[in-house]
Structure 1
Amino acid sequence: MTPTSATTGSEIAIDSHIEARAVKKAAWRFIPLLALAYFFNYLDRTSVGFASLTMNQDLGLTATQFGWGAGIMFAGYCVFEVPSNLALYRFGARRWIARIMITWGLMAAATALATGPTSFYIIRLLLGIGEAGFFPGVIFFLAVWFPARYRTRVLAWFTVSTPLSSLVGGPLSTWLLRMDGVLGLAGWKWMFIIEGLPACVLGFLVLRMLADTPADAKWLLPEERGALQKAFEREGAASGKKKDFRVALKDPRVYLLAMISFGFTMGSYGIGIWLPQMLKAHGMSVMETGWLAALPYFFATIGLLWWAKHVDRNGRRVANLAVALAIGAIALGVSTYFKTLTPAMVGITLALIGTISARTIFFTLPARFLSGQAAAGGLALINSIGALGGFAGPYLVGYLKDSFGTFTAGMLGLAIVLAITTLLTLSLFALIRDE
């Protein structure tokens, strides 16, 4: 080894150590706060399933009307997703994410003002508009801050809020329903108020704690900021990523990823929104429903963290995504053959492990070929189309429930959707290098 090569190796080792130190600082500063924000984000989306245990009768909602109302928030979400993320790119993630959180918190709490189907639809639509851009905005923000080799684990610790919100949200929501009559308000009204307003408080914390780029972070040492900048420069030079949003609009990979996102979102929300009512149909009390509905998400949390660590160590993101979706499809399909609760719950648990893990693996893929404005807009476009699955899944299950008088048809329909999504994922092998 020549002196020059030895020096170079030593410099690389030092840069790597400084980069790891900077990543650790950023992770401890951002991830707990953003994960807590996403916890309430997902809780405010899905707690409507627990509210339905008493709210539907108060508002006179049929299964189809509830499915429509539970899903219509995604219409507003999808329409405003891309403009919201382009605004985030222009004004900065710190300000825009804070704005999103304060707006959605107010709208989530305002669901307590619903008096019938129409007002329920309107408030849910406004909730979707208010929170549009949050998830892809955070994904874009994390891609700006964390080099690729850390990204799957970082995304996992952020998205672990999805199963955790359902794990905690079930017992919490059903406990809040027991506040029925306090100060003259129904329990479901208290649930929306108490679970919605914390997002507003977190929004102000986001405004204080986040920095749009490493260059803006005064709490990093100069050499730490430099190490992160070098890491992103190396990645950009090696990848040839697209940076212009107009170019991303012409990339077929963006639309294929959007269709895949639509499929697994349809599956996870179709299960999650209706799970409380499926359990109640087995004669359980409201409190028993809350605790049992949380159980699949306990295992989904463990599965998500294990799978993310496995992918970061071994790569093969497309292959792992396909396996996760195949598990979801097969497990959910098999669960429909069982009339007793225990084996059906095993199938639903495996299906949720698959679909929730798939979401984390999936959102590491767009950053492999998009950056800058293209990443901000492309992520939003993928997520906005995918988020329509959050409308289609609950509505499909509600429609099939009214048509056939059973949840079995709805779960089987979701299993078919996940199977098609698995096939779409396999086509990615021809378009994205699976590393």
Structure 2
Amino acid sequence: MSSPIATPIEHPPGPLPAADATLGADQRVIQKVSRHLLGFLFLLFVVSFLDRINIGFAGLTMVKDLGLTSTQFGLATTLFYLAYIACGVPSNIALARIGARRWIGTIMVAWGLASTATMFATSAESLYFWRVLVGITEAGFLPGMLLYLTYWFPSAYRARANALFMIAMPVTAGVGSALSGLILGLDGTYGLKGWQWLFLLEGLPAAVLGIVVYGYLTDTPQRATWLTDDEKTTLSRMLTAEHTSDPVPPAGSARRSLLSELSSSTVLKFSVAYFCLVNSLAMVAVWTPLIVKSFSGGASNSTIGLLAAIPQVCTIVGMVWWGRRSDQAQERRWHLVLPMLFAALGWLMTAWSSQPAVQLLGVCFASTGAYTAMSIFWTTPDHALSFRARALGIAVINAVGNLGSAFNPLIVGWLKDLTHSFSTGLVYASVLLVVGCAIALILPIPKASKAPKATRAVGSAA
């Protein structure tokens, strides 16, 4: 029985041309693909991530307005991620069968409306309902985009492609911090609370862009009217050369081989490592405004928003520089481990220091390290999975890893209520990062090799 995952490219027959004869063509194609796709995908990820993290800023006033405890507030995010996890794999299957254009467009409209409707929450229970609905509808976006990038960018270019795409996360957190602080100032306008304006103004853009996706995205390179036939052939050759080195599925039926690969120790190790990393990503995304508030001495919401934007500026610089360095060296393992250790150090600085400047510097370290590690992490699983298992494998790793996003808000909220401090939760995140580093050291990641000159193409296109 054949795999249900659609093949993204049609491979041209015949021998592959020599690399030195095609280097210039390779660079031009990657630059063209980068110009056409990365900016638009970046914008989509901005609105996606904004709808995921804006509850952290809404919490500055919503917790009091709805009478929520820190545990209840954390549970709302936990429920979001449980729904997100449960629907992630089915959503990636749907994307592979239906195509990115139709599926991504549909779920963006759905989650945009669900996120906007969160403004109607009146209690903890109604907040839980709306956040679950957002989690269900948004579940397929990030794993779907990660899969989509493998259709267009060979692995030698993917660290910077991933970084330039995922840089939307710190950009959104930074701009969203300042913007959300200002939107909260609309409190009372037309009878709406500030946090209601937040969900209204930051939710609707996703629905609008979802409609634009139908006309802009192309499912596969072979269907791209903006590529010439020669460019399609060049891109197909590059991706074909990559797939010839994919792991060979174990012997047996197609269904058995696919299941055995998805349940292998390799997928388990990647999933656990990502779980440890995602805990810190959740800390940054959900708790940064409240952590900054805890050491900012009664500053206004606008000031807190500006302070919370500083770590994201550092993160943007770190992601671009580290992704470029990893591609040039063609080395992934230590480029993954070192940022995770850097993030662990940052959380410990924030937890143990009594100086606000050092605490803010610690948040900068943690945010930069965690997001930089994430962009490198997603260049590695495809090397350990066969081509047909890639869509489901990425979705499984993303789903299991995002249990960290589900449990972190609940655990940190509970620890905050118990100790009246974020310090214990920060140490918890730091310990998990160290565990994740230990697992990363045994992941099946290829050893360093000489970087091809063509890896400059993504950076130059950006």
**TM band (smaller chain):** over 0.9
Which of the numbers 249, 258, 261 marks the counterpart of 1:248? 261
1:180 corresponding residue in structure 2: 187
Match of 1:311 in 2: 326
Q: Is the 8 A contact 1:109 1:196 kept in 2?
A: yes
If the length of structure 2 is used for normalisation, what is the TM-score? 0.89
Q: Which moved more, 1:245-254 or 1:32-41?
A: 245-254
Q: Secondary structure at the match of 2:371?
A: helix
Change in 2 beyond 3 A, CA 1:341/1:63: same
Residue 200 of structure 2 is matched in structure 1 by: 193
Asked whether 1:215 is paired with 2:222, we answer yes
2:163 match: 156
1:386 matched to 2:401? The reply is: yes
One-letter code of the match for 2:329?
A: N
Q: Is the 8 A contact 1:269 1:390 kept in 2?
A: yes
Q: Counterpart of 1:127? A: 134
2:355 to 313, 326, 340: 340
Q: Match of 1:350?
A: 365
2:173 to 162, 166, 180: 166
Question: SS where residue 402 of structure 2 aligns?
Answer: helix
In 2 relative to 1, CA 375–156 (structure 1 residues): closer, same or farther, beyond 3 Å?
same
Distance of 1:371 and 1:148 partners within structure 2: 14
The verdict on how the C-alpha distance between 1:289 and 1:20 changes in structure 2, with shifts beyond 3 A counting, is same
Matches within 5 A, 1:196-275: 196-240=203-247, 242=249, 245-275=258-288
Instruction: Decide which structure has greater helix share.
Output: 1
CA contact (8 A) 2:312 2:364 kept: yes
Task: Report the residue type matching 2:286 in the other structure.
Answer: I
1:404 is the counterpart of 2:411? no
Q: CA RMSD in A?
A: 1.7
Q: Distance in 1 between matches of 2:26 and 2:445?
A: 27
Q: Distance in 2 between matches of 1:185 and 1:322?
A: 46
Find the counterpart in structure 1 of residue 6 from structure 2.
none
Q: Deviations over 1:247-277 (max 9, x none)?
A: 4313211111111111111112123311211
- Code of the residue aligned with 1:217 in structure 2: it is A
**Unpaired runs of at least 5, structure 2:** 1-14, 449-462
> How much has 1:241 moved relative to structure 2?
5.4
- CA displacement, residues 311-352 of structure 1 (integer Å, 9 cap, x when unaligned): 000022011111111111122113321112101111111111
Q: Secondary structure at 2:445's aligned position in 1?
A: coil
- Residue aligned with 1:190, SS: helix
Q: Does 1:277 align with 2:290?
A: yes
Matches within 5 A, 1:83-122: 83-122=90-129
Partners of 1:217 and 1:286 in 2: CA distance = 46
Alignment partners' CA distance in 1, 2:349 and 2:34: 39
Separation in structure 2 between the aligned mates of residue 199 and residue 274 of structure 1, nearest angstrom: 23
CA contact (8 A) 2:156 2:330 kept: no
Aligned to 1:5: none
Q: Is 1:434 equivalent to 2:447 in the alignment?
A: yes
Cα distance in 1 for residues equivalent to 2:442 and 2:25:
39
Alpha-carbon offset, residue 21 of structure 1: 1.7
Aligned equivalents of 2:396, 2:380: Cα separation in 1: 14
The one-character-per-residue Cα deviations of 1:377-431 (angstroms, maximum 9, x if unpaired) are 1100000111111121222211111011111111111111111111111122xx3
The alpha-carbon deviation at position 18 of structure 1 amounts to 2.2
Counterpart residue number, 1:362: 377
Identify which range, 105-114 or 263-272, moves more after superposition. 263-272
Aligned pair count reads 426
Residue 240 of structure 1 deviates from its aligned partner by 3.4
Partner of 2:4: none
- CA gap of 1:45–1:10, structure 2 versus 1, over 3 A, is closer
Alpha-carbon separation, structure 1, partners of 2:88 and 2:305:
31
Tell me the residue number matched to 1:145.
152
2:71 is matched with 64
Deviation at 1:47, TM superposition (A): 1.1
Deviation at 1:115, TM superposition (A): 0.6
Displacement after TM superposition at 1:432 (Å): 2.9
The aligned amino acid for 2:360 is M
- Partner Cα distance (1:122, 1:225) in 2: 45
Query: In percent, how many aligned pairs have the same letter?
Result: 35
Give the TM-score normalised by the residue count of structure 1. 0.94
TM-superposition CA deviations, 1:346-384 (whole Å, max 9, x none): 111111111000100000111113354411111000001
Measured in 2, the distance between the counterparts of 1:252 and 1:69 equals: 32
Task: For 2:260 and 2:36, locate their aligned partners in 1 and report how far apart those are by CA, in whole Å.
Answer: 34
Q: Is contact 1:136–1:379 with CA below 8 Å preserved after alignment?
A: yes
Partner Cα separation in structure 2 for residue 182 and residue 217 of structure 1? 46
2:342 to 302, 317, 327: 327
Contact 1:94–1:210, Cα closer than 8 Å, also in 2:
yes
Aligned to 1:47: 54
CA shift, 1:298, in A, is: 0.4
Question: Could you tell me how far 1:72 is from its partner in structure 2?
Answer: 1.4
For residues 260 and 169 of structure 2, the distance between their equivalents in structure 1, rounded to whole angstroms, comes to 32
| C-alpha displacement of 1:96 | 1.1
- After superposition, give the CA deviation of every residue in 1:115-146 in whole Å (9 maximum; x if it has no partner): 10000001101100000111111011110111
2:430 match: 415
Q: State how 1:289-308 maps to structure 2 within 5 Å.
A: 289-308=304-323
Worse-superposed segment, 206-215 or 79-88: 206-215
Question: Which deviations, in whole Å up to 9, do the C-alpha atoms of 1:275-300 show, x marking residues without a partner?
Answer: 21122233111111000001011001
Residues 30 and 209 of structure 1 are in contact (CA less than 8 Å); yes or no, is this contact kept in structure 2? Answer: no
Q: Deviations over 1:73-119 (max 9, x none)?
A: 10000001101101111111121111121111111111101110000
